[in-house]
A and B are shown apart, each in its own frame.
Chain A
Amino acid sequence: MNLLTLSLAYLRDRALNSALNLVLLALGVATIVLLILFASQFEERLTKDARGVHLVIGAKGSPLQLVLSSIFHVDIPTGNISLAEATKISKHRLVASAIPLALGDAYRGFRIVGTESSYPASYKAELDDGRLWKKPFETTIGARVMKETGLKVGDMFSGAHGIKGTGKVHEENGYRVVGVFKRTGTVIDRLILTTMESVWIIHEIKEEAKAKGLMIEGPPSEEREITAMVIRYRSPIAAITLPRYINANTGMQAASPGYEIRRLMALVGVGVQTLQGFGIMLIATAALSMFIALYNAMQNRRYDIVIMRSLGATRRKLFCQILLEGLILACAGTVLGIVIGHAIIELLGQLLPQARAMGLTGVIWVREEWYLLLLSGIVGLVSAALPAVQAYRTDIAVTLSAR
């Protein structure tokens, strides 16, 4: 028997009420943990995928859509641009590097991207098995693609039209896996990389060229199109001049990933903040509910306090005991909430395709969660403070004679 077991006994004594407060607090904490985990991984994911990309060039349309489709590979592309026109930009003196991307097909939800070997290099992707693609219809696949589709080096597969991979299957053109990348934690993990020619061959010359027996070459170079081009600047000045030049003087559009991500986070941020406010409201409700429960319990426990004092308990001991009750409940609620929050995120990451694509995981610890633990400690202490003071101040003789 000590203060801890005594506090637990009292919490157990009003089990229903304790459970209610525990659940209230846990829900509030879980809501906030959910948001913290989601926002941190979302933002980390975005910045990681956009690292090293200063500008994206693509067809006119929504700049956000262009960034989402060609950097994060989540939205549909805005359209196609002429390879010749894009190449002209890549030779601009302010451009350090330019990587073309050709999208269009997918295999079981993973996009097939026609590009150059500099693309995985820009994400520092290393080979786990096999080699990089060289010839048309050779592919090197990301770690996640391998894990979920079971493809391995030497396997053949057919891409389906559309970025979801649910459209018409191009059965006549089989891809072959020649290599697998190690896990990078970036968008590369869920891409299937191949040559630009593969994509051109499938989409451009299918009908007429096939009839003429032309195959491997693809369309004549002046007609070739790509989906987008990602660019690195040579100097910061480019950020001022290059986008304006492209948007004004060409039929293409230039979008800055950094700017678009900030815009997106601002939009998402409103929702996150609203939900966060909701979570804080839940925690405040839990604190109030805990306070009321303890305060009411104090009315019934005045005699208990007298008895404990008569047994030799000092005022300070009783004060601590009541604080401990609040603290135990608050900490238990917070730990429960953190566990629930992590479990939900992990579950979402496993079950939701979009969350899976993001690589969402519940098995991480974010620094903000320490603050949450601290906050819960404060909530517990504050809600128990007044009842504890009441216990401290209880006058034994008065309470005895008032019975």
Chain B
Amino acid sequence: MSESSIQHRYATSGSSVVRVEGLRHDFGGRTILDIPNWTAHKAEHYLVLGPSGSGKTTLLNILAGLLRPTAGTVSVSEQDIGSLGSGVMDVFRGRHIGIVFQTLHLLSALSVADNLHLARYMAGLPRQDSRVRRVLDDLGLRSLTNARARALSQGEAQRVAIARAVINEPAVILADEPTSALDDANTTQVMNLLYEQAETCGATLIIATHDRRIKDRFTAVLELGARQ
């Protein structure tokens, strides 16, 4: 399937942005994830809760198409991502899914702006300086436009990571413990920004965390149980 046909058929999604059916993932002979049925709707935000080892990161990796589940289907923007080949999946992910990692943030060899330009390039989108400038402005990063990524503080780096996750205006933003390395002030700021940016581009936010500081904001919660 070509890249353009994916976009054409699925970019204008219905109300369900992520749908999971009969999802199961085994690792080392154990089932570490088992979600019979779950749907995330457009422009709504979800919290994935659960203790360490409950499979939060595994779920996000599966939703992002970085990991193939043992069983079940995952649809993002109505596209069954299990049916996509590796290369097509990579491009699909670049266009439709924004990812914010817990600690691995940026390509340290590049400047802040180039990290954002790279995100567009890797997703096969044309370079757009105005878009990069606007996102950096929105996130209060303008003064750091040409700074080296490795020269940033934790909080700044996480903001740039958010900027990069939203630069391609994805349908879904997946964030894995985005605040666990941050202090209270930065946590508030980062969460505000994530929210704002998700609203701006009409994206569905799915955050995996055990950070109690951010629980209050969410109404929709997917609770993963601890497993033996």
Chain A interface residues toward B at CB < 8 A:
1-2, 5-6, 9-10, 12-13, 303-304, 306-317, 396-397, 400-401, 403
Contacts and interface: CB of A to CB of B under 8 A. Distances in A.
26 contacts: A1-B127, A9-B110, A12-B109, A13-B108, A13-B109, A303-B104, A304-B107, A308-B107, A308-B122, A310-B99, A311-B94, A311-B164, A312-B90, A312-B95, A312-B122, A312-B123, A314-B86, A314-B91, A315-B86, A315-B90, A317-B122, A396-B61, A396-B66, A400-B101, A401-B58, A403-B104
Contact of B103 (A2, A5, A313, A403): A403
Q: Is the interface of A mostly helix, strand, loop or mixed?
A: helix
A168 to B, nearest CB: 71
Nearest to B87: A314
Q: Is the interface of B mostly helix, strand, loop or mixed?
A: helix
B107 A313 contact: no
B101 to A, nearest CB: 7
Contacts, number: 81
Given A312-B95, A315-B86, A396-B67, 4 more contacts: A1-B121, A310-B93, A312-B124, A397-B61
**Most central of B91, B93, B121, B164 by chain A CB within 10 Å:** B121
A307 B104 contact: yes
B119 to A, nearest CB: 5
Given A2-B121, A9-B114, A400-B61, A312 B91 contact: yes
Give the bracket for the number of chain B residues in contact with chain A.
35 or more
A309 B86 CA distance: 10
Contacts of A306: 104
B101 A307 contact: yes
A9 B87 CA distance: 24
Contacts of B54: none
B203 interface: no
B87 A316 contact: yes
B159 interface: no
B122 A400 contact: no
Interface in B41-84: 57-58, 61, 64, 66-67
B118 A308 contact: yes
- Sort A-B residue pairs by CB-CB distance and give the 8 closest, nearest first: A312-B94, A13-B109, A1-B117, A397-B67, A312-B123, A311-B122, A313-B122, A314-B87
